[in-house]
């Protein structure tokens, strides 16, 4: 297959192209659109969602979903500030946040993998339960700037060669996750499970174990994303993370991580997050009222799902009479 | 029992299955089955549908455990009941419908879970080159980088065979591999099988196509009604003898065929075609007639029936019922015009398994059971009970779910549901598949009775005795085309099989 | 089959009684008519949308955009009224908005063949976005007083709020259609086995399209009620309501796999959740407890069938091994 043809078959191409096109068209319409400031806005705004989208990829490729991430990331952000302000130090606070994510992931994972409950319902339930526990724990308080660990604060505000540190962290996680999803045998099993669950069992893959640990991985990254959330806004409150799960799933779907499972990459999810954020910025720059943002997002996701469906329906298998 | 024929390798069999039996609930799938597989041999496993081949293969694949009898591999007891262990012990089964991962590359499909590694990480280059080596070793230049989605069945089988080789399988079983293959692809598969033979594998080849069996295999075993009838070297036998072993019983005794005067034309199918499935199908059925539709699995018979009834669409041609045109792809309209289809797959297409008998039997006639909008549950149950009596359905309570019934009784529920619509044309697709002999007779008696009452019946069946015993006329399909048309007297087993398989054997 | 689930929805009924008792004991204000009024008014929107959602889930689909459709209906009412359209007509406009949104969902699923879970996550955003486009940042707060009264007050001479009328009528109608008509049988059949339904002549796609449209319409009705109750049409109303609806439907005994459920169970579940919320508020328990309780009930509603299936499977295994062990003679 020629290089160009191979390139067009890359799953991540549409979203990457869309990103370039959106940014490009806006630059044409609005002079000086793509300035350093816009780039920084883009990178800063995307970091939390991008990290969560990477994490969500682990479960979506297995044909599952994790809707509890919004509640968990908010709780994690709050937890870091809260324990730091109580004198626990940065490392312990971070550990607690990640531990929280791991715990939620483990409960989700257990129910889905071993009790074989549908992940939609399980994570919908944990979305509720985690938010409820979070609200109770927070008792209406807010984490203010002084309670944010200085390192987190610093990372949220500063840049390396002009690129926000939060973005760099996201990029680093992306590269590691990308490597793992491609080169670690157990991670490859996740794709098999999503592609053909029955065949995965027959092939001897320990499906339950993989599903369980995938949810834990998602949880751990969500805990980490709590730090990014805290650093981004320099505050946290019981509403933190509300509604993020849908944006995260949207970023994945738009980025080629199909709900049908078995395909897509963390890179695609990352680009999906960038695209959504890029569109937000473009809408602002083009003078379109901010109110169009959600409608555009929604239409975009529908388009992505329909495109995905169309592309997979074009691949036909051979039938009785030998024709394709 | 088994003939002691000289094996081509001269040694002990690699895999020995001795007098195994297996029952599911009340149905005895295997009664006394035996087979000996030798390394470096291609061994044909023959038998009609329901003979027990599938159950035997599933036991080897590790899906089931047998109830009695022994299975030994290399003289050691073969551990049953686990697919993973079966693969580890060196038995690989390639099913008619391969089970690949559509989104993964061919190389990964072959090596999933066992990918070659560099350090602790997947070594993609190595995996691709190893896969390429396997494909080349089979003589098929597949691209290890291609995704499995969209691959033809023939190519998917090659990937499965490569996978089997990569697990160092000693026994490779191919379950009806040629059913969905074109002639060219069959040739290619034969080459692959011969290569496996040369590599000293023991290959099992399950097929209905005698010409293929005689072209490819060295040894054969015939099963009938769950037992092994005989095993011979191919060189020592003939197609005619094999057919005799497969069919066995006298045809005329079992089925109470009533001679009926036929009436007007009920169904007229003209030049029906659907790209990739069937082409140029034309036939007519009169009232009171039973038209048998014979052919191998995969010849397109079910597809044609589904298109006639309207579940599937079609590209060209027409369907007329009692002179009126039947619109495409509209099952409700077909039903309203007087057509009924008892589908091939009872569990997936014919029944609502967790639902009650009453619900299942009445689902097609709900309008009649309602006064205005209101549906009467009593009428639902009444209709089910009435038809239950007609069909001699055996059940505990009408509210029981159908998955508690035996296969035969389940089929009766499907029949009940369709007979309740009082159709002019009844299409039955494999009406007695997986049913015990007693119920089979009842179903046949029922169909004959309905024909006598004027119903036109189209009966698709892969069971030769059934087709020959029940039909007034027989048409034969092969690879999507209608290749033969027999009146009752001209339809002999060999003539029909010859037409279905394309072999040259005459009666 | 549904022997367990038949017991399940009776169980929910018992649970409802239990919660009422609990509520009565936990607070003196609970068993008052004013509290009863409050509960009914509080659950009205969720109850009405749950009717549609129950049908959809029984048929094997789902619609996550219901809250956005409710809000779209409300926003449409506000938009039309602000454009000087008579209020009655604006209300009809709101209903139509819900119906059209539901039809669009149905179109995406039945005609384009897109998976309902993913696509309604998208329309959730789309419809919510349209609310913002219609109203901008400015909610419409000046609504005709007579109508607002309907949304808020009681039927004269009783403690029942006006909203009880649409709730009762729609629930009764939905119950009747689902359990007593041919259409209802079709819905169950599709949920149990859509392929067999097609083979039985049931127009699967058309039925599903109708169910999505019905859910949209119900969301529209809920939107009207919501607007009147809060005397305001705003673009960010009812955020997160879909979770409450789904929790109620699943807890009411409708299986997420499709094919199983009763409307009576759903209504009992909606009422139970309303009762629990009211009781928690009265004893000054934070609203967070309700979140945790809702989530837990949701989990229980999916775990319990697994447990009973497992137990039944074990019992069945024991009896079949007994059967096959008795050797019969060869049948030929």
Tell me: the pLDDT tens digits for C167-188?
999 999 999 999 999 999 999 9
pLDDT-derived band at B498, boundaries 50, 70, 90: confident
Nearest residue to C134 via CA among A261, B195, B343, A295: A295
- Secondary structure string (H, E, C) spanning B154-183: HHHHHHHHHHHHHCCCCEEEEECCCCCCCH
Nearest residue to A253 via CA among A187, A196, A298, A315: A298
pLDDT tens digit sequence for B444-454 = 989 999 999 99
Helix C204-230 with C164-180: angle, nearest 10 deg: 170
pLDDT-derived band at A150, boundaries 50, 70, 90: confident
- List the single best residue of A194, A262, A319 to mutate versus B (max B Cβ within 10 A): A319
Rounded Cα gap, residues B325 and B310, in angstroms: 12
What residues 141-160 of chain B have any CB closer than 8 A to a CB of chain A?
Answer: 143, 145, 149-154
Are A296 and C114 in contact (CB < 8 Å)?
no
Contact of A195 with A262, CB cutoff 8 Å:
yes
Contact of B136 with B107, CB cutoff 8 Å:
no
**Chain C partners of A291 at a C-beta cutoff of 8 Å?**
129, 132-133, 136-137, 235
User: Is the pLDDT confidence value at B210 over 60?
Assistant: yes
A302-311, B129-138, B482-491: least confident range: A302-311
**Chain A partners of C117 at a C-beta cutoff of 8 Å?**
65, 120, 259
Q: How many residues does chain A have?
A: 324
Instruction: Give backbone dihedrals phi and psi of A322, rounded to 5 degrees, phi first.
Output: 80, 0
Q: Give the mean pLDDT of chain C.
A: 87
Are A260 and C115 in contact (CB < 8 Å)?
yes
B290-295 sheet: strands from edge to edge: B339-342, B425-429, B456-460, B290-295, B473-478, B481-487
Is some CB atom of chain C closer than 8 A to the CB atom of A79?
Answer: no
* Distant-in-sequence contacts of B138-141, Cβ < 8 A, 24+ apart: B138/B162, B138/B165, B138/B192, B138/B195, B139/B188, B139/B191, B139/B192, B139/B195, B140/B188, B140/B192
User: Is the pLDDT confidence value at C27 over 90?
Assistant: no
Instruction: Give backbone dihedrals phi and psi of A111, rounded to 5 degrees, phi first.
Output: -65, -40
Give pLDDT, residue A208. Answer: 94
User: What's this model's pTM, rounded to 2 decimal places?
Assistant: 0.85
Rounded Cα gap, residues C29 and C23, in angstroms: 9
Give pLDDT, residue A59. Answer: 97
Positive or negative torsion for Cα A35, A38, A40, A46 = negative
Contact of B286 with B264, CB cutoff 8 Å:
yes
CA-CA distances (angstroms) from residue B495 to B195, B295, B464? 34, 12, 11
Contact of A57 with A264, CB cutoff 8 Å:
yes
pLDDT-derived band at B2, boundaries 50, 70, 90: very low
Nearest residue to B164 via CA among B216, B121, B111, B206: B111
Give pLDDT, residue A203. Answer: 81
Is some CB atom of chain A closer than 8 A to the CB atom of B322?
Answer: no
Give pLDDT, residue B329. Answer: 93
Are A199 and B100 in contact (CB < 8 Å)?
yes
pLDDT-derived band at C79, boundaries 50, 70, 90: very high
pLDDT-derived band at C318, boundaries 50, 70, 90: low
- Region C149-159 average pLDDT: 79
Chains that touch A (3 or more CB pairs under 8 A): B, C
**Chain A partners of C250 at a C-beta cutoff of 8 Å?**
121
Contact of C217 with C73, CB cutoff 8 Å:
no
Distance to chain B for A148, nearest Cα, Å: 39
**Chain B partners of C196 at a C-beta cutoff of 8 Å?**
348-352
Are C182 and B23 in contact (CB < 8 Å)?
no
pLDDT tens digit sequence for B372-393 = 888 888 888 999 999 988 888 8
Is some CB atom of chain C closer than 8 A to the CB atom of A125?
Answer: yes
pLDDT tens digit sequence for B240-291 = 788 778 776 544 445 666 777 888 899 999 999 998 889 999 999 999 999 9
- Region C222-232 average pLDDT: 92
Provide CB contacts within 8 A for C200, sequence distance 6+: B331, B363, B364, B417, C189
User: Is the pLDDT confidence value at B1 over 70?
Assistant: no
Q: Which of C136, C257, C299 sits opposite A125 (nearest CB)?
A: C299
Nearest residue to C298 via CA among A120, A60, A244, A214: A120
Give pLDDT, residue A8. Answer: 61
B330-339, B498-507, C56-65, C159-168: least confident range: B498-507
% pLDDT > 90, chain A: 46
Rounded Cα gap, residues B336 and C21, in angstroms: 54
pLDDT-derived band at C29, boundaries 50, 70, 90: confident
Give pLDDT, residue A6. Answer: 62
Instruction: Give the CA radius of gyration of chain B.
Output: 24
Give pLDDT, residue C316. Answer: 66
Domains of chain C: 3-308 (1.10.3470)
User: Which is more confident, A80 or A324?
Assistant: A80
User: Is the pLDDT confidence value at B179 over 80?
Assistant: no
What residues 364-423 of chain B have any CB closer than 8 A to a CB of chain A?
Answer: none
- Region B225-244 average pLDDT: 86
pLDDT tens digit sequence for A277-302 = 888 888 888 888 777 888 888 898 89
- Region C62-87 average pLDDT: 94
Domains of chain B: 15-100+151-248 (3.40.50.300), 252-501 (3.40.50.300)
pLDDT-derived band at A100, boundaries 50, 70, 90: very high
- Region B82-97 average pLDDT: 85
Closest residue in chain C to residue B307, using alpha carbons only: C199
Domains of chain A: 10-307 (1.10.3470)
Contact of B387 with B362, CB cutoff 8 Å:
no
pLDDT tens digit sequence for A211-236 = 999 999 999 999 999 999 999 998 89
User: Is the pLDDT confidence value at A5 over 50?
Assistant: yes
pLDDT tens digit sequence for A124-146 = 899 989 999 999 898 888 888 88
Structure tokens at B216: 């490819």
Are A302 and C302 in contact (CB < 8 Å)?
no
Instruction: Give backbone dihedrals phi and psi of B243, rounded to 5 degrees, phi first.
Output: -60, -40
Give pLDDT, residue B250. Answer: 45
- Secondary structure string (H, E, C) spanning B321-370: ECCEECCCCCHHHHHHHCEEEECCCHHHHHCCCCCEHHHHHHCCCCCCCE
Are A198 and B279 in contact (CB < 8 Å)?
no
DSSP secondary structure string for all residues of B269-309: EEEEEETTTEEEEEEEEETT-EEEEEE-TTSSHHHHHHHHH
User: Is the pLDDT confidence value at B11 over 80?
Assistant: no
Helix (H, G, I), strand (E, B) or coil at A274: helix
Q: Give the mean pLDDT of chain B.
A: 87
Is some CB atom of chain C closer than 8 A to the CB atom of A127?
Answer: yes
pLDDT tens digit sequence for C245-299 = 998 999 998 988 889 999 999 999 999 989 988 888 888 777 778 788 888 888 8
% pLDDT > 70, chain A: 94
Is some CB atom of chain C closer than 8 A to the CB atom of A259?
Answer: yes
Q: Burial-class residue B354 by CB neighbours within 10 Å (0-12, 13-18, 19+).
A: middle
**Chain B partners of A319 at a C-beta cutoff of 8 Å?**
180, 276-277
Rounded Cα gap, residues A167 and A174, in angstroms: 10
DSSP state of C65: T
Q: Parallel, antiparallel, or unpaired: how do β-strands A163-164 and B76-77 relate?
A: unpaired
């Amino acid at each position: 297959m020629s290089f160009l043809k191979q390139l067009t078959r890359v799953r991540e191409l549409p979203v990457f192209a869309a990103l370039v096109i959106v940014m490009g068209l806006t630059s044409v319409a609005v002079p000086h659109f793509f300035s350093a400031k816009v780039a920084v806005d883009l990178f800063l705004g995307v970091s939390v969602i991008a990290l969560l989208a990477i994490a969500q990829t682990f479960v979506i490729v297995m044909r599952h979903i994790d809707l509890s991430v919004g509640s968990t990331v908010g709780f994690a952000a709050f937890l870091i500030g809260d324990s730091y302000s109580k004198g626990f130090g940065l490392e312990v606070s971070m550990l607690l946040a990640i531990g929280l994510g791991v715990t939620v992931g483990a409960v989700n994972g257990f129910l889905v993998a071993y009790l074989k409950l549908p992940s939609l319902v399980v994570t919908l339930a944990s979305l509720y339960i985690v938010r409820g526990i979070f609200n109770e724990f927070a008792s209406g308080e807010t984490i203010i700037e002084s309670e944010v660990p200085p390192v987190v604060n610093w990372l949220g505000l500063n840049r390396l060669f002009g690129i926000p540190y939060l973005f760099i962290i996201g990029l680093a996680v992306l590269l590691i996750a990308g490597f793992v999803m491609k080169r670690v045998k157990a991670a490859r099993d996740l794709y098999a499970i999503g592609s053909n669950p029955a065949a995965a069992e027959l092939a001897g893959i320990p499906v339950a174990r993989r599903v369980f640990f995938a949810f834990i991985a998602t949880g751990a990254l969500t805990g980490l994303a709590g730090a990014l959330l805290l650093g981004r806004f320099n505050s946290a409150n019981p509403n933190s993370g509300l509604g993020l799960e849908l944006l995260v799933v949207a970023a994945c779907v738009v980025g080629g991580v199909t709900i049908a499972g078995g395909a897509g990459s963390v890179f695609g999810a990352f680009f999906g997050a960038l695209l959504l954020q890029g569109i937000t910025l473009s809408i602002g720059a083009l003078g379109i009222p901010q109110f169009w943002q959600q409608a555009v997002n929604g239409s975009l996701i529908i388009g992505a799902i329909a495109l995905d469906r169309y592309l997979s329906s074009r691949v036909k298998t051979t039938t009785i009479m030998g024709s394709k | 029992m088994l003939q002691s024929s000289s094996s081509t390798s001269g040694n002990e069999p690699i895999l020995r299955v001795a007098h195994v039996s297996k029952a599911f609930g009340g149905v005895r799938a295997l009664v006394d089955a035996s087979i000996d597989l030798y390394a470096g041999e291609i061994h044909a496993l023959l038998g009609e549908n329901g003979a027990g081949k599938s159950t035997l293969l599933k036991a080897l694949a590790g899906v089931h455990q047998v109830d009695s009898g022994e299975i030994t591999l290399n003289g050691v007891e073969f551990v049953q009941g686990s697919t993973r262990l079966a693969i580890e012990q060196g038995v690989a089964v390639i099913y008619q419908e391969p089970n690949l991962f559509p989104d993964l590359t061919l190389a990964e499909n072959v090596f999933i879970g066992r990918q070659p590694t560099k350090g602790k990480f997947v070594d993609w280059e190595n995996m691709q080159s190893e896969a390429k080596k396997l494909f080349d070793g089979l003589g098929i230049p597949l691209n290890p980088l291609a995704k499995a989605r969209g691959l033809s069945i023939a190519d998917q089988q090659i990937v499965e065979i490569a996978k089997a080789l990569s697990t160092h399988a000693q026994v490779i079983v191919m379950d009806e591999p040629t059913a969905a293959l074109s002639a060219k692809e069959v040739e290619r598969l034969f080459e692959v099988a011969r290569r496996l033979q040369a590599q000293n594998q023991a290959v099992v080849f399950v097929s209905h196509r005698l010409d293929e069996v005689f072209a490819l295999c060295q040894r054969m075993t015939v099963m009938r009604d769950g037992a092994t009838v005989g095993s011979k070297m191919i060189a020592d036998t003939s197609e005619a003898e094999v057919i005799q072993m497969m069919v066995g019983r006298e045809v005329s005794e079992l089925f109470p065929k009533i001679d009926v005067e036929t009436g007007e034309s009920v169904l007229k199918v003209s030049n029906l075609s659907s790209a990739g499935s069937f082409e140029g199908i034309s036939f007519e059925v009169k009232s009171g007639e039973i038209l048998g539709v014979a052919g191998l699995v995969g010849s397109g018979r079910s597809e044609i029936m589904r298109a006639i009834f309207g579940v599937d669409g079609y590209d060209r041609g027409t369907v007329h019922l009692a002179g009126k045109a039947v619109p495409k792809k509209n099952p409700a309209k077909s039903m309203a015009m007087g057509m009924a289809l008892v589908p091939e797959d009872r569990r997936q297409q014919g029944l609502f398994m967790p639902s009650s008998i009453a619900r299942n039997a009445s689902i097609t006639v709900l309008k009649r059971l309602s006064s205005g909008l209101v549906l009467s549950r009593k009428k639902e149950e009444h209709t089910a009970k009435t038809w239950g009596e007609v069909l001699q359905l055996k059940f505990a309570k009408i509210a029981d779910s159908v998955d508690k019934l035996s296969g035969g009784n389940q089929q009766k529920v499907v029949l009940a549901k369709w007979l309740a619509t009082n159709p002019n044309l009844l299409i039955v697709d494999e009406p007695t598949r997986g049913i015990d002999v007693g119920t089979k007779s009842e179903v046949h008696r029922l169909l004959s009775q309905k024909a006598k009452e004027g119903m036109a019946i189209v009966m698709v069946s892969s069971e030769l005795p059934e087709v020959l015993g029940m039909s007034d006329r027989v048409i034969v399909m092969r690879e999507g085309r209608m290749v033969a048309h027999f009146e009752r007297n001209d339809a002999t087993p060999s003539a029909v099989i010859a037409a279905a398989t394309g072999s040259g054997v005459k009666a | 089959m549904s022997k367990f689930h038949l017991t399940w929805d009776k169980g929910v009924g018992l649970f409802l009684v239990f919660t009422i008792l609990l509520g009565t004991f936990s607070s003196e204000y609970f068993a008052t008519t004013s509290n009863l009024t409050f509960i009914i008014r509080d659950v009205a929107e969720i109850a009405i949308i749950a009717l549609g959602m129950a049908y959809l889930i029984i048929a094997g689909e789902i619609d996550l955009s219901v809250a956005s459709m409710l809000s779209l209906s409300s926003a449409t009412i506000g938009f039309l009224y602000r454009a000087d359209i008579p209020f009655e007509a604006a209300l009809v406009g709101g209903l139509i908005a819900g119906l059209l949104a539901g039809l669009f969902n149905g179109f995406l699923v039945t005609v384009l063949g897109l998976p309902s879970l993913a696509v309604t996550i998208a329309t959730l955003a789309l419809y919510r976005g349209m609310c913002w486009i219609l109203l901008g940042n400015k909610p419409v707060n000046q609504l005709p007083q007579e109508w607002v009264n309907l949304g808020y007050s009681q039927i004269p001479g009783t403690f029942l709020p006006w909203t009880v009328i649409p709730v009762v009528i729609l629930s009764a109608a939905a119950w009747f259609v689902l359990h007593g008509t041919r259409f209802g049988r079709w819905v169950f059949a599709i949920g149990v086995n859509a392929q067999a339904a097609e083979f039985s002549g049931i127009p699967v796609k058309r039925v599903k399209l109708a169910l999505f449209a019905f859910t949209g319409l119900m969301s529209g009705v809920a939107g009207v009620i919501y607007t009147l109750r809060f005397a305001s049409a705003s673009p960010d109303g009812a955020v997160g309501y879909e979770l409450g609806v789904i929790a109620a439907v699943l807890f009411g005994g409708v299986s997420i796999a499709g094919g199983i459920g009763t409307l009576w169970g759903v209504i009992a579940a909606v009422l139970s959740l309303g009762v629990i919320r009211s009781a928690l508020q009265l004893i000054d328990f934070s609203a967070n407890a309700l979140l945790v309780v809702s989530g837990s009930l949701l989990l229980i509603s999916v775990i319990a069938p697994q447990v009973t299936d497992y137990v039944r499977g074990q019992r069945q295994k024991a009896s079949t091994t007994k059967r096959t062990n008795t050797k019969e003679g060869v049948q030929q």
